[in-house]
Amino acid sequence: MPASRIRASTEPVRITRRGPTLRETSIEDYRQIAALEAAHGLSTKSYDEWAHIHLCHPLNRDGHSEHPAGWVIESEDKQMVASVGNILLPYQFAGRRIVAATGRGLVAARAYRSASLLLLDQLLNQPDVDLFLTNALTPASAASFSALGCERVPTGEWDQSAFWITQYRGFMESALALRGSAFATPLSCPLGAAFFLKDRLTKPAIRQADVDVQACSGFDDRFDDLWEQLKCRNCSLLMAVRSRQVLEWHYRYALLQNRLWIATIRDGPRIAAYAIFDRRDNSNIGLKRVRLVDFQSLDGTTALLESLLSWALRKCRHEGIHMLENIGAWLGNGELIDRLAPHRRRLSAWTFVYRGANPGLSERLSDPAVWAATLYDASASL
């Protein structure tokens, strides 16, 4: 049996003769899934947000998804011991719409870690799905995805992030707290001043060109117009759909929770470029953080990205945010963020992998030139 295939059936199956049971997730499973995630240190969603992500995705037809919300493993006494969520996403590639799947919340009790491979098999081998993607891979799950035939996305630096410090004292206090320093507060001021001076001497200041950057509170018809143009101009690229409908689904709860910044640059009545940023704090160490999630432009270049970053940096400083971070994209040698960002950190794993449902698609996706990957892909920004 190939390593990338274990079992195709989505019917309940016995893992052993007298053992746990694998089955599709039902809506009644939410409480047990949330409890299992919380017990193993994963972030949990409210019921409404969980149902929105898994059951109300853009490929859901008439309120009834043809694909399960995920899969769970139950012990003999009907206790949930492992779970993975399933999310369907619309993509465009080579002039046609394709269906991609991504996972969320892969978790298993220690005694059932090996059985969780069956969850991944269901996720990667579900019918009527062209492509599997995840950009939230962890060191603990990397070997499992590799065993099931997943490959690294061949463009970007998905084991690195680049960042700007936008509030030096607060950032240094958080960094020292992460290292367990008993002197985080008194040391944060002199260290912050030293890093401020170093940044000013080693990297050029980001400048805003003579363009008008405007913040949006949501998505309107202009985003549909922009998507239609992006779709035509980038027909050879693999691109996640960015219509107004899909954007509103993707960012619904980030907007409701005031975690999203949408910045646009106009060309007359049209949007010439936009960037989306989301708030991702680390409350354990008191770190206030904003990430660049996505950037798109009509001309296909990053010429307007610097102005959007300049806007975001000013907003971070004004709101007391400690850092602005970018993961994976535009970090190659000489690319825009590589040139401008003063700091880098290495992540604990290469976070973005994929697998095509057929060898032909996988081979085409091995070409770096067909990718336009950002954190908007897969589940990292959901």
In a domain, 361, yes or no: no
Q: Is there a single domain that holds both residue 169 and residue 283?
A: yes
Same domain, 289 and 206: yes
Same domain, 190 and 122: no
pLDDT tens digits, one per residue of 8-62: 334 444 454 467 899 999 999 999 999 999 999 999 999 999 999 998 888 886 5
Q: Is residue 358 part of a domain?
A: no
- Claim to verify: residue 133 and residue 114 sit in the same structural domain: yes
What's the rounded Cα separation, in Å, for the pair 184 and 175?
A: 8
Residues 107 and 235 reside in one and the same domain: no
pLDDT for the residue numbered 380:
94
**Confidence at residue 57, expressed as pLDDT on a 0 to 100 scale:** 87
Tens of pLDDT along 289-305? 999 999 999 999 999 99
Instruction: Provide the pLDDT for residue 8.
Output: 35
* Domain encompassing residue 122: 13-153
Per DSSP, the three-state class of 167 is: coil
The C-alpha atoms of residue 162 and residue 323 are separated, in whole angstroms, by 10
**Of 264, 293, 263, nearest in space to 279 by CA:** 293
In a domain, 377, yes or no: no
User: Which of 135, 153, 171 is at the close of a domain?
Assistant: 153
Has residue 41 been placed in a domain? Answer: yes
- Average pLDDT over the chain reads 91
Q: What is the pLDDT of residue 19?
A: 77
- For the stretch 70-126, pLDDT in tens is 999 999 888 999 999 999 999 999 989 999 999 999 999 999 988 889 999 999 999
Provide the pLDDT for residue 203: 85
Query: Is 380 a domain residue?
Result: no
Q: Are residues 220 and 110 in the same domain?
A: no
Give percent of the chain with pLDDT exceeding 70: 94
Distance CA 72, CA 109 (A): 12
Look at residues 153, 171, 200 and tell me which one is the last residue of a structural domain.
Answer: 153
CA dihedral 224, 225, 226, 229 (to 10 degrees): 120
DSSP secondary structure letters along 128-148 = T--EEEES---HHHHHHHHHT
Asked whether residue 37 is domain-assigned, the answer is yes
Rounded CA-CA distance 29/36 in Å is 11
Question: Are residues 147 and 176 both part of a single domain?
Answer: no
Tell me what the mean pLDDT of segment 214-224 comes to: 97
Q: 104 in a domain, yes or no?
A: yes
Q: Are residues 141 and 163 in the same domain?
A: no
Q: What is the pLDDT of residue 204?
A: 84
pLDDT band with cut points at 50, 70 and 90 for residue 202 = confident
Task: List, in sequence order, the alpha helices (H) in the chain.
Answer: 30-39, 47-55, 116-124, 139-147, 168-178, 184-202, 221-233, 244-250, 252-256, 305-318, 336-340, 359-365
Tell me, what CATH number does 65's domain have? Answer: 3.40.630.30
The conformation of residue 356, written as its DSSP 8-state character, comes to E
148 in the same domain as 280: no
Residue 369 lies in a domain: no
**184 & 96 share domain:** no
Last residue of one domain, picked from the residues 153, 173, 206: 153
Q: What is the pTM of this model?
A: 0.92
Do 115 and 240 reside in the same domain of the chain?
A: no
Contacts of 273 (CB under 8 A, 6+ apart): 264, 265, 295, 296, 297, 298, 304, 305, 308
How high is the pLDDT of residue 64? 53
How many Å apart are CA 238 and CA 249, to the nearest integer? Answer: 20
C-alpha dist (Å) from residue 154 to 39, 88, 129, 133: 34, 22, 21, 13
Tally of domains in the chain: 2
Q: What is the pLDDT of residues 308-364, one digit of tens each?
A: 999 999 999 999 999 999 999 999 999 999 999 999 999 999 999 999 999 999 999
Cα end-to-end distance, the chain, whole Å: 34
- 309 and 207 in a single domain? The answer is yes
pLDDT above 90: residue 154 = yes
Q: What is the pLDDT of residues 52-76, one digit of tens each?
A: 999 888 888 655 567 899 999 999 8
